[in-house]
């Protein structure tokens, strides 16, 4: 169940990185 939350978070970060590659954490 926690995996689902992490997956969503990862997807959001992936999208953010796509728009802001400078913010690579």
pLDDT in tens, 1-25: 566 777 788 888 888 777 766 656 5
Global model pTM greater than 0.85: no
Q: What pLDDT is attached to residue 23?
A: 57
- Supply the pLDDT for residue 16: 79
Which string of b and e fits 7-20 if b means at least 16 CB within 10 Å?
eeeeeeeeeeeeee
């Amino acid at each position: 169940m926690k995996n689902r939350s992490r997956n969503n978070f990862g997807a959001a970060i992936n999208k953010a990185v796509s728009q802001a590659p400078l913010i690579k954490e």
